[in-house]
A and B are shown apart, each in its own frame.
Chain A
């Protein structure tokens, strides 16, 4: 089995090199957040940008950053906003996607085409009219006004639809024969088995909400309600007191929750669900 082992080792080498290619900026960001500015720029373009000298490591940037800006408050806000968006979004969008995949009804093709068309229009073109709509229904500077516009997400609806298209009919058939209504079927059978896609779309939705900058600034005025990207941009634009090391520290802090969440949930995607039990 010599040959098999060599191939295996080569394989691991290749995918590890590949992984370095993807992870090096994150590495750079984290490493730089523990250095002072002078060292960050001294090391740029050398290997020390990624593998720092131990004596250069310091938590000074974090201490200084946190003494100037309370970024945790904004992170808490973002956590709440993202969670709400994910929960309601998954509900609303999966129902819609399921309907488009599994049911036959008038104007079905029209609705589908509409969804694709809506996916295309760039948000830059519609953000001001959206503001006017939210303004007219008097929801500006409310959490509802901030979150509602992005709960229904056409991209996610489309993705759910594609997923449900390949959802095995036999399971649904079996359940229908047993007398299960559509809603019970969805809730008791389809949903539990589809956990991987829910988690995937949940992660994507969470990320989109976490990274949003423009809409929060427009929809909210109260600085206590601002999500983390807004705080981050305020930090970036403070050219007087904030230097690169602080920026790296801020970015690392802000990226951390997403990484943790991702690590926690991606097991759900990969491990899948044991289907043998259902049959």
Chain B
């Protein structure tokens, strides 16, 4: 009996000591406690970068520099959390903060998510605390991404990009007249042309006469669309990679209000674009579930290549000669923005009251975190693509690796000139997921390219999404 009681006492003792001894600072906007319990107001920032990660370190460094340069202003504390996959971990932390009303003053959000936080009244607009003209230093895509109802809410600290890649060794096997369809690094091309080239490669791939050539016999598919990532949870790939097809056909999946789908997701132009996408799968040029890193390992001849491919290719697959060209358009005459873009951005909590000193400083910090200097620093620290027009030039296209240079040359052009932000919609997550699963994956997995079936898929998706979106229409 005595032993049990004493054990319980020990238990309780440990409990009390750890409870007192280990409180760090929680994300309360306002007070940081120092050793002698001096309560000083501070600004708290949360990001989704992991602390040991180069991204986390670059933010920490940037804030350290700010504090050093502004010793008289409020101290800024930054906490880097980690995220798993599509943001969970960090997002859950954020949700907990919202629920307990312990929001940080500044935090990061993925671009497409901004609208729902605006609608919920969780974040505040930034127009009143930023210096006039600051916003003009961003690229069109960044401004678009952060604007809801004509007010600015988010400042992107980096952008992203996608190019079409092809394996030089494989393409060299093609006849000259086909090879010449492929554009140079400064030219545009269309999806019809892309398809034509891919089709020729596919013929080679299945031609028994070419099987003695190693690059050909290794091929298991012709074009890697990365659709295998979608079932694993990366639903966003569908909108990110494929919306530009639809945009460049003078169409969209949703209206400006972010909620109306009729006439957009099911418009003839959208269906037309989806049919071209379906052609790749119906005619065996692409596989719905392709092998992991198929382009990198030479199992695919061409790919829709996210910018993150480049470092992987140059570091780990020196034998894969990857050439890069611009993302194709559906309509050759299309001349507005359309290439894939978007990434995480900084926002400010609605708890930062208007007109206060704190609000003003929050504006300063936001600018510090996303200005030209910051963008350049981030590029050097983490390879982040700058979203500031003056900083894009910092991207190095003069290294020893010509393939690396070409890829970044194309990306640079797109980031500066043609990148377009994804739709601003309160229901974006649901829209994106349903588009990925109920339209794109179905077309890919069932190898559909007839207009009627595609229309049916699209109509089913619209019905589903409408039911969800009803809530917003109240």
Residues of chain A whose beta carbon lies under 8 Å from any beta carbon of chain B: 36-38, 41-42, 44, 68-70, 88, 91, 127-128, 131-132, 135, 139-145, 148, 181, 183-184, 187, 213-214, 217-218, 220-223, 225-226, 230-231, 233-241, 243
Q: Do A231 and B52 have beta carbons less than 8 Å apart?
A: yes
Q: Do B22 and A230 have beta carbons less than 8 Å apart?
A: no
Which label, helix, strand, loop or mixed, suits the secondary structure of the A interface? helix
| Cβ contacts under 8 Å, B92 to chain A | 127-128, 214, 217-218
Q: What's the Cα separation between A113 and B17 when bound, in Å? A: 35
Residues of chain B whose beta carbon lies under 8 Å from any beta carbon of chain A: 1, 3-4, 7, 11, 15, 18-19, 22-27, 50-55, 79-85, 88-90, 92-93, 95-96, 99-100, 102, 291-293, 296-297, 308, 311-312, 315-317, 319, 382-383
| Cβ contacts under 8 Å, A128 to chain B | 92, 95-96, 99
Nearest CB in chain A to that of B308: its residue: A239
Q: Do B82 and A234 have beta carbons less than 8 Å apart?
A: yes
Nearest CB in chain A to that of B27: its residue: A221
Q: Which of A141, A144, A181 has the most CB of B within 10 A?
A: A144
| Cβ contacts under 8 Å, B79 to chain A | 221, 223
Q: A213-B84, A217-B81, A223-B52 are in contact. List 16 more A-B contacts (CB 8 A).
A: A38-B297, A41-B292, A41-B296, A131-B96, A131-B100, A135-B102, A141-B23, A141-B25, A142-B18, A217-B93, A218-B92, A218-B93, A222-B22, A223-B51, A233-B82, A233-B84
In the complex, how many angstroms separate the beta carbon of B151 from the nearest chain A beta carbon? 30
Q: What's the Cα separation between A240 and B55 when bound, in Å? A: 10
Q: What 8 pairs across the A-B complex have the smallest Cβ distances?
A: A234-B50, A222-B24, A37-B316, A234-B82, A233-B84, A223-B51, A143-B18, A217-B89
| Cβ contacts under 8 Å, A234 to chain B | 50-53, 82
| Cβ contacts under 8 Å, A148 to chain B | 15
Nearest CB in chain B to that of A137: its residue: B19
Nearest CB in chain B to that of A74: its residue: B52
| Contact (A69, B26) CB under 8 Å given A41-B292, A240-B382, A243-B315 | no
In the complex, how many angstroms separate the beta carbon of B93 from the nearest chain A beta carbon? 6
Q: What's the Cα separation between A41 and B316 when bound, in Å? A: 11
Q: What's the Cα separation between A254 and B390 when bound, in Å? A: 44
| Cβ contacts under 8 Å, B1 to chain A | 181, 183-184
| Cβ contacts under 8 Å, A37 to chain B | 312, 316-317
Q: Do B53 and A238 have beta carbons less than 8 Å apart?
A: yes
Q: Which of B3, B4, B90, B316 has the most CB of A within 10 A?
A: B316
Nearest CB in chain B to that of A229: its residue: B84
Q: Which of A38, A141, A243 contacts B26 (CB 8 A)?
A: A141
Q: What's the Cα separation between A88 and B11 when bound, in Å? A: 8
Q: Do B308 and A213 have beta carbons less than 8 Å apart?
A: no
Nearest CB in chain A to that of B8: its residue: A91
| Cβ contacts under 8 Å, B382 to chain A | 240
Q: Do B317 and A38 have beta carbons less than 8 Å apart?
A: yes
| Cβ contacts under 8 Å, B297 to chain A | 38, 41-42
